[in-house]
Structure 1
Amino acid sequence: MHIAIIGAGISGLMTALELIEQGCSVTIFDQQQVGKAASWAGGGILSPMYPWRYDPAVNALAKYAKPLYQTWNEKLAPQTGIDFQIHETGMLIFDEDDFDIGLNYAKQHHEPLQHAEYIQREQLEQINPFIHKKYTHALYFPHLANARNPRVLQSIQRYLKQQPQVKILEHCPIEKLNIQKQKLISVTDLSGQTHHADAFVIAAGAWSKHWEKQLNIHIPVEPIQGQMLLFKTPENWLPTMCMNKVMYLIPRMDGHIVCGSSMRQVGFNLSLDENIKNNILDACFDMVPELAHFPIVQQWAGLRPSSPNGVPFIGQAPFIENLWFNFGHFRNGLCMGAASAKLLRQLMLNQTPLENPDAYSPLRLMS
Structure 2
Amino acid sequence: MSDFVVIGGGVIGLMTTLQLADAGHSVTLLERGDCGREASWAGGGIVSPLYPWRYSEPISRLSTWSEGFYPQLSLRLLEETGIDPEYRQRGLLYLRVDDEERAMAWARKVGKPLERVNADFVYTKEPNITPGVTDALWMPTLGSLRNPRLVRALRRRLGNMAKVSIHERCEVTGFRRRGPHIEAVETTSGAVAGDQAIVCGGAWAAGLLERVGVRLPVRPVKGQMILFKAPPERVRRVVLMDGRYVIPRADGRVLAGSTLEETGFDKSLSHAARESLWESAVKIIPTLADCEVEHHWAGLRPGSPDGVPFIGSVPGVDNLHVNAGHYRNGLVLAPAATRLLVDQLLGREPIVDPRPYALSDQWQAQ
Indicate the TM-score class for this superposition, using the shorter chain for normalisation. Answer: over 0.9
C-alpha displacement of 1:133: 1.2
**Which residue of structure 1 lines up, in the alignment, with residue 346 of structure 2?**
349
Gaps of 5+ in 2: none
**Which residue of structure 1 lines up, in the alignment, with residue 132 of structure 2?**
134
**Which residue of structure 2 lines up, in the alignment, with residue 164 of structure 1?**
162
Percent of counterpart pairs with the same letter?
33
State the distance in 2 between where 1:135 and 1:283 align.
15
Structure 2 residue 134 is matched with structure 1 residue 143: no
**Which residue of structure 2 lines up, in the alignment, with residue 257 of structure 1?**
254
C-alpha displacement of 1:30: 0.7
Q: Secondary structure in 1 aligned to 2:136?
A: strand
Return the letter of the residue paired with 1:40: W
Q: Secondary structure in 1 aligned to 2:211?
A: helix
Q: Secondary structure in 1 aligned to 2:117?
A: strand
**Which residue of structure 1 lines up, in the alignment, with residue 55 of structure 2?**
54
**Which residue of structure 2 lines up, in the alignment, with residue 181 of structure 1?**
179
C-alpha displacement of 1:49: 0.5
C-alpha displacement of 1:252: 0.9
8 Å Cα contact 2:216-2:363 kept in structure 1 = no
State the distance in 1 between where 2:295 and 2:362 align.
39
State the distance in 2 between where 1:235 and 1:2 align.
46
Q: Deviations over 1:146-194 (max 9, x none)?
A: 0110111011100000011111101100111112121111011124x11
Instruction: Give the TM-score of the pair, scaled to structure 2.
Output: 0.96
8 Å Cα contact 1:318-1:363 kept in structure 2 = yes
8 Å Cα contact 1:236-1:252 kept in structure 2 = no
**Which residue of structure 2 lines up, in the alignment, with residue 83 of structure 1?**
84
Q: Secondary structure in 2 aligned to 1:140?
A: strand
State the distance in 1 between where 2:186 and 2:196 align.
14
Q: 1:64 to 1:79 in 2, by over 3 A?
A: same
8 Å Cα contact 1:103-1:139 kept in structure 2 = no
8 Å Cα contact 1:38-1:304 kept in structure 2 = yes
C-alpha displacement of 1:142: 1.0
8 Å Cα contact 1:73-1:83 kept in structure 2 = yes
Q: Deviations over 1:301-332 (max 9, x none)?
A: 00000001110011111111111101110000
Return the letter of the residue paired with 1:91: L
C-alpha displacement of 1:126: 1.0
Q: Deviations over 1:214-241 (max 9, x none)?
A: 2212110000000000012122331221
State the distance in 1 between where 2:362 and 2:304 align.
11
**Which residue of structure 1 lines up, in the alignment, with residue 315 of structure 2?**
318
**Which residue of structure 2 lines up, in the alignment, with residue 233 of structure 1?**
230
Q: 1:241-320, aligned counterparts within 5 Å?
A: 241-320=238-317
Q: 1:62-77, aligned counterparts within 5 Å?
A: 62-77=63-78
Gaps of 5+ in 1: none
- Given candidates 328, 331, 334, the residue that maps to 1:331 is 328
C-alpha displacement of 1:125: 1.1
8 Å Cα contact 1:182-1:321 kept in structure 2 = yes
8 Å Cα contact 2:203-2:300 kept in structure 1 = yes
8 Å Cα contact 1:54-1:309 kept in structure 2 = no
C-alpha displacement of 1:131: 1.1
State the distance in 2 between where 1:82 and 1:155 align.
6
Q: Secondary structure in 1 aligned to 2:331?
A: helix
Return the letter of the residue paired with 2:135: H
Runs of 4+ in 1 over 6 A off after TM superposition: none
Provide the alpha-carbon RMSD of the alignment.
Answer: 1.3
**Which residue of structure 2 lines up, in the alignment, with residue 152 of structure 1?**
150
| Matched length | 363
8 Å Cα contact 2:196-2:319 kept in structure 1 = yes
Q: Secondary structure in 1 aligned to 2:166?
A: strand
State the distance in 2 between where 1:14 and 1:99 align.
35
Return the letter of the residue paired with 2:301: R
8 Å Cα contact 1:4-1:201 kept in structure 2 = yes
C-alpha displacement of 1:365: 4.7
Instruction: Give the TM-score of the pair, scaled to structure 1.
Output: 0.96
Q: Secondary structure in 2 aligned to 1:178?
A: strand
**Which residue of structure 1 lines up, in the alignment, with residue 17 of structure 2?**
16
Q: 1:133 to 1:36 in 2, by over 3 A?
A: same
State the distance in 2 between where 1:250 and 1:53 align.
21
**Which residue of structure 1 lines up, in the alignment, with residue 200 of structure 2?**
203
State the distance in 2 between where 1:341 and 1:327 align.
10
